[in-house]
Amino acid sequence: MKAVFLDLASLAEQDLDLSGFERVVDVWRSYPATAPGDRLAHIGDADIVVTNKVLLDDAVLRAAPNLRLICLTATGCNNVAVDTAREMDIVVSNVVAYATDSVAQHVFALMLAHHTRLFDYTAAVQRGEWSRSPQFCLLDYPVRELRGMTLGIIGYGELGQGGAKIAEAFGMRVMVSQRPGGQAQQGRHAFAEVLREADVITLHLPLLDNTRHLIDAKALQLMKPTALLINTARGAVVDNAALADALRQGVIGGAAMDVLDVEPPPLDHPLLATDIPNLIVTPHTAWAGRQSRQNVVNETVANIQAFLDGAPRNRVA
C-alpha cells in the first residue's frame, strides 16, 4: 500500500512522533503543503491520501484511480467531495475527540482574556500608565468574574461538553442550545432563547448548509449588548462582515474568533480591520496543543490500520 500526506506542515510536525505512518504502509510520502495545481502530481499512484485541509473535489477524486482511502486529520469533512467518494467506493475517515482539552482550554483563555481585560491592561502598562498611577493599581477597565454568568453552548458534542465541565467549575450556568431546525431534546433550549440569555456564546458546530452564517446580523441583534461571542468551530458559521459591523456599533460586547471564513485570511479581511473594538483573533490554534496534534497522528494511523484490516473506522463515507 502506498500513502501520501498532502499537507504535513499543517500539524507542525517537528515535535511529533510520525513513525506510525511508516510502519503501517509499504510506501510513505509526505509534502509540507500541496498547492491546487499540484494535487494530482502529489497524489500520484497512492492508494491512501492523508490530508488536513487540501481540497479533494470531484475532479481530483475522479482523476486518482488508485485512491481507496482518504484520511482527514480533522473532524470536519467539508474539503472532500464526500458524495463522489461514496459513488467511487472510496472510504473517507476522520478523527474525533482528539483536541477536547486543547479547545476547551483555548475557549476559556479567550473568555478570561476578555473579561479580565488582559490585553487592555497589558497595553496600558506598556504605555507607562501604571508607572504614572497615583495609586498602587490601575482600575481603568472593568473586570468581570465568570461566576454567575450564563454560558450558551451551540453544538453540544465532544467539544461543547468539554467546555461545559469547565464552565461549571467556574460557577457558570450552562445553557445548551437546540440546533435550529433539529428535533426538540430534553434539557435543550431554543436557539433564540440562548442568544437572548447567554453572557457568553461558544460555537462548536460543523460547517454545513444549515449552519453557514448561523450567527448573522439578526442573531447578533438578539444577543445581550454585553455578550461575548466565541468561535472555535468553523469561520463561516458566523457572518464575518456582520460581526465586524456589530462590534463597531456596540451591538454585542465583544468577540473572540479562532477561525475566519477564509483561511489564511487576506489582509483586508473584515475582521482584521484595526478599528474593531473588543475583538480577539487567534490564528486557528485552539486545537494545536502538542498532545492534541499527536492524538491526530495516532488516530490517523489507527484509521489506516483499520481500513487495511477490512474494518474501517470513523467513517464519514
> Which residue numbers are catalytic?
234, 263, 284
What residue type is assigned to position 1 of the chain?
A: M
Q: Which three cell numbers stand for residue 75?
A: 473532524
CA distance 173 to 171: 7
CA pair distance 58, 84, nearest whole angstrom = 6
Looking up cell 481507496 gives: 68
Residues contacting 6, CB < 8 A, separation 6+ = 31, 33, 34, 39, 42, 43, 49, 50, 51, 52, 54
Q: Rounded to whole angstroms, how far apart are CA atoms 173 and 10? A: 36
Asked if residue 1 lies in contact with residue 26, where contact means CB atoms within 8 angstroms, the answer is yes
The helix/strand/coil state of 247 is: helix
Reduced DSSP (H G I as helix, E B as strand, rest coil) percent helix, strand, coil of the chain, to 5: 35, 15, 45
28 strand-pairing partners: 3
Which residues are bridge partners to 201 per DSSP?
152, 229
Q: CB count, 10 Å around CB of 190?
A: 13
